[in-house]
């Protein structure tokens, strides 16, 4: 039985921060830190903070802008993190609220209503609470019957979520499933860290997957899915429910996103390119049959290198769409934003690959064909 992606949706926050604003705020923070600790710095017990640089950020990452839920708190040199209002249990959570918006757009684009949906999988790198599952709250907000669950495989959450949805539909558990990724990455980014303060942005993406025979639109048929994980500590976040039991320091940088960026770059590129290559071979496909690569959006050079390894030449802009410049790294939503914004020009039977990769390490490759 064939499963199709029949609709996609996106929630983009209204506020955004460009590199200039981000760097100005970081530099003010660094100056006030250096002033506050000038004695420790002058006697060598503490290292002075160096300014960040707008050009450096664009050059090493390709990022020029990011959307965020709260700009003011992030740019306040006294705070350096978003300022979100804590909501009562009677109010929708932020993640459920942005997910609802993205899901409604996906349903509209698929020409379907909530009554047609059997399940919601909330697949993202950071869930805002332990329980109840955010997915069940999204299901309730939308008024969907059936079942829902949360899952987290960091930057590969969305593609692993697609795999789960395909399996659930093929097994007969459901006929139609929403896979939604509310990625509020500004909540786990250390804006005081010069090496990484520019990396992430906020967004939410949603996909409707259903049986081909129930689809009313020209969607994308899932040809094949392939997943791979290899354990690595090079991208890590130690925030968790045992922190308090372990008396650990909740303000320590390891309770936010930390990475060995260079090692990640070097190790992940070959894993991803060989996984996609093998996946295509298993499906008797060669790269000349692939019209588009919708890759995870973490680093422009990384994507260019992966595409070059696969194609044997530099990719054309239209072969490998980039949204990183505008959205920054949005964890598992990145490849889905690229797919959402850059799939309308493909024609019947064109084939493309959606591929996520990141912490774990984890890689998810989805081969799709335009219906
Ligand atoms: N402004 C100016 N200079 C900076 C800077 C900043 N904000 N941050 C770091 N630098 C400097 C460093 O101090 C270093 O200087 P040095 O050579 O004099 O020591 C130099 O720039 C290079 O730093 P480095 O961190 O090695 O840069 P990089 O070229 O590896 O790029 C990343 C950093 C993070 C952009 C890059 O490694 C990357 O994208 N890796 C993959 C990450 C990834 O995909 N992660 C997945 C996340 S889900």
* CB 337 within 8 Å of CB 327: yes
**Pocket of ligand 1 contains residue 12 by CB under 6 Å:** no
Q: Which atom of ligand 1 is nearest to the CA of 23?
A: 7
Pull the structure tokens for residue 72: 């003011």
Write the residue with the smallest CA distance to atom 8 of ligand 1: 195
Summary count for the chain: helices (H), strands (E):
11, 13
Label residue 225 exposed, middle or buried (CB < 10 Å: 0-12, 13-18, 19+). Answer: buried
Per residue in 162-197, pLDDT (tens digit) is 999 999 999 999 999 999 999 999 999 999 999 999
Q: Which atom of ligand 1 is nearest to the CA of 61?
A: 35
List the pLDDT tens digit at each of the 371 positions of the chain. 899 999 999 999 999 999 999 999 999 999 999 999 999 999 999 999 999 999 999 999 999 999 999 999 999 999 999 999 999 999 999 999 999 999 999 999 999 999 999 999 999 999 999 999 999 999 999 999 999 999 999 999 999 999 999 999 999 999 999 999 999 999 999 999 999 999 999 999 999 999 999 999 999 999 999 999 999 999 999 999 999 999 999 999 999 999 999 999 999 999 999 999 999 999 999 999 999 999 999 999 999 999 999 999 999 999 999 999 999 999 999 999 999 999 999 999 999 999 999 999 999 999 999 99
Pocket test for ligand 1, best of 27, 203, 262 (most atoms within 8 A of CB): 262
Which of these, 36, 55, 56, lies nearest to 46 by C-alpha position? 36
Instruction: State the virtual CA torsion across 265, 267, 269, 274 in degrees, nearest 10.
Output: -170
**Pocket of ligand 1 contains residue 54 by CB under 6 Å:** no
Instruction: State the virtual CA torsion across 185, 190, 195, 199 in degrees, nearest 10.
Output: 10
Total count of residues recorded for the chain: 371
Query: Residue 189: what pLDDT?
Result: 98
* CB 341 within 8 Å of CB 326: no
Write the residue with the smallest CA distance to atom 12 of ligand 1: 195
**Pocket of ligand 1 contains residue 194 by CB under 6 Å:** yes
Going from the Cα of 291 to the center of ligand 1, the distance in angstroms, rounded, reads 32
The owner of tokens 């690595």 is 232
Write the residue with the smallest CA distance to atom 11 of ligand 1: 195
Rounded to the nearest 10 degrees, the angle between the axes of helix 157-171 and helix 334-341 is 70
The predicted model scores a pTM of 0.96
The domains found in the chain, sorted by start residue, are: 220-370 (3.40.47.10)
Cα–Cα distance measured from residue 19 to residue 8, given in angstroms and rounded to the nearest whole number: 29
Residue 188 CB neighbour total at 10 angstroms: 18
* 155 tagged catalytic: yes
Going from the Cα of 258 to the center of ligand 1, the distance in angstroms, rounded, reads 12
Pull the structure tokens for residue 118: 């059997």
């Amino acid at each position: 039985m064939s499963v199709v992606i029949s609709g996609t949706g996106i929630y983009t926050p209204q506020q955004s921060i460009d590199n200039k604003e981000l760097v100005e705020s970081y530099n003010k923070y660094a100056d006030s830190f250096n002033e506050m600790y000038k004695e420790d710095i002058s006697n060598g017990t503490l290292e002075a903070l160096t300014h960040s640089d707008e050009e450096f950020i664009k050059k090493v990452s390709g990022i020029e802008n990011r959307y965020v839920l709260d700009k003011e708190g992030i740019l306040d040199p006294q705070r350096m993190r978003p300022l979100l209002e804590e909501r009562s249990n009677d109010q929708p959570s932020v993640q459920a609220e942005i997910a609802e918006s993205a899901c409604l757009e996906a349903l509209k684009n698929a020409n379907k209503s909530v009554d047609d949906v059997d399940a919601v999988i909330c697949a993202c790198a950071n869930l805002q609470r332990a329980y109840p599952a955010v997915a069940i709250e999204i299901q309730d907000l939308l008024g969907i019957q059936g079942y829902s669950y949360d899952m987290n495989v960091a930057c590969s959450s969305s593609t692993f979520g697609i795999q789960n949805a395909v399996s659930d539909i093929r097994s007969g558990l459901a006929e139609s499933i929403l896979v939604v990724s509310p990625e509020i990455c500004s909540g786990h980014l250390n804006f005081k860290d010069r090496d990484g303060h520019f990396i992430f942005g906020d967004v939410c993406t949603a996909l409707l997957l259903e049986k081909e025979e129930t689809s009313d639109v020209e969607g994308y048929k899932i040809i094949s899915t392939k997943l791979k994980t290899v354990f690595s500590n090079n991208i890590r976040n130690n925030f968790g429910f045992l922190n308090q039991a372990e008396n650990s320091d909740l303000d320590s940088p390891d309770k936010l996103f930390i990475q060995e960026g260079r090692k990640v770059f070097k190790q992940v590129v070959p894993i991803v390119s060989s996984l996609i290559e093998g996946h295509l071979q298993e499906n008797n496909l060669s790269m000349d049959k692939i019209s588009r690569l919708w890759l995870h959006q973490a680093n422009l050079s990384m994507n260019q290198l992966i595409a070059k390894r696969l194609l044997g030449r530099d990719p054309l802009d239209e072969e490998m769409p980039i949204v990183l410049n505008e959205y920054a790294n949005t964890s598992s939503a990145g490849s889905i934003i690229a797919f959402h914004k850059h799939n309308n020009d493909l024609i019947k039977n064109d084939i493309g690959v959606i591929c996520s990769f990141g912490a774990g390490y984890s890689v998810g490759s989805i081969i799709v064909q335009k219906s």
